Amino acid sequence: MTASVQLPAVLDIQQAGPLREQLLGLRGQAVIVDGSAVERLGALCLQVLISAQQTWARDGLSLVIDRASEAFADQWNAFGAPAVASGQGEAA
């Protein structure tokens, strides 16, 4: 079974803790993260998402960021993180 997470429009410092807890609650199953609504991506939430991807990979599961908004993709790439697809598609 694949779980899904809908990211909020603003992923700032206040969202980092709740995002981490939400993702940890889904550990042990594949996860699709919907980034279509994201307008602003902060550094701490970026770190949470990258850490989650690495954790899931070590667990032999996938955590995929899908349908990244243009703003999400632009900000993700501006941080120098591994490329994320713009608009639709997947990034690992």
* Spatial contact of 79 and 46, defined as CB atoms under 8 Å apart: yes
Write the single-letter amino acid at 90.
E
Q: What is the per-residue DSSP string for 26-42? A: TTTSEEEEE-TT-SEE-
pTM for the whole thing? 0.87
- What pLDDT, on a 0 to 100 scale, did the predictor assign at position 53? 93
Task: Give the chain's residues under pLDDT 50.
Answer: 85-92
The span from the CA of 67 to the CA of 57, in Å, is: 20
- What pLDDT, on a 0 to 100 scale, did the predictor assign at position 82? 77
